[in-house]
Structure 1
Amino acid sequence: MAFADAHNTASFSTTKVVREHLPVLMVSHDADGAWQFLDATTDEPGDALLVCMACIYERDQTLEQIADLPLVSAWRQEVGGTWERAENPPEDDDEDDDQAV
């Protein structure tokens, strides 16, 4: 596996990727180090699944192209398509701290 993370690293995916075999079209490597392998059709929390990273990679070895992804997101139009990349916005847990009470 091309990823530096262990094969059994828990990552997030969707029921549509895992059970319906939709392609991974969006990937996020979050600030906390977590990986998300998504199908770009749903953002419903109930569709999320924890899966091992190697299981996702075995389904689609073209994910090797983004194995070096720093803390950013990537997306493509189709399997084998060119990955576009963008930095993830910083997570701000103190959004309300800046607002006057």
Structure 2
Amino acid sequence: MASFVCNHVLEKTKSILYVTHDSEGDWQFLCGEDDHTEENIKIISLLQVVELDNTINDLHEMPINVGAKRRKINEKWKPFKISN
């Protein structure tokens, strides 16, 4: 399964702090910064995301239209509803 990540996560300069499972079923794994452009986004496999940060396994049952965020990598994920 393809997953969207920001270049900060892919290059391991920042941790995954913001995750969404959108209405199309796509997953996004981002660093939590809000200034990303299309050039910052990369597509990798879900397996590659898990290899970058296995704590995302905690979100494997997260339904569509839900996201989760945290302030630091060792904090518990806080779910939120994605508004359309």
TM-score normalized with structure 1 length: 0.76
Q: Provide the residue aligned with 1:82 in structure 2.
A: 76
Of 13, 21, 32, 2:5 maps to 13
Runs of 4+ in 1 over 4 A off after TM superposition: none
Structure with larger Rg: 1
User: CA–CA distance in 1 between the matches of 2:80 and 2:12?
Assistant: 27
Question: Counting strand residues as a fraction of each chain, which structure ranks higher?
Answer: 2
> How many residues end up aligned between the 2 structures?
82
Q: Provide the residue aligned with 1:58 in structure 2.
A: 51
Q: Which one has more relative contact order, counting CA pairs under 8 Å at least 6 apart?
A: 2
Q: Secondary structure at the match of 1:16?
A: helix
Return the offset for 1:46: 1.2
Q: For residues 24-67 of structure 1, give each alpha carbon's deviation from its aligned partner in whole angstroms, at most 9, with x where no partner exists.
A: 00000000000000001242221000011100101211111111
In structure 2, list runs of 5 or more residues that go unmatched.
Answer: none
Identity %: 26
In structure 1, list runs of 5 or more residues that go unmatched.
Answer: 1-8, 91-101
> What RMSD, in angstroms, separates the aligned Cα atoms of the two structures?
1.1
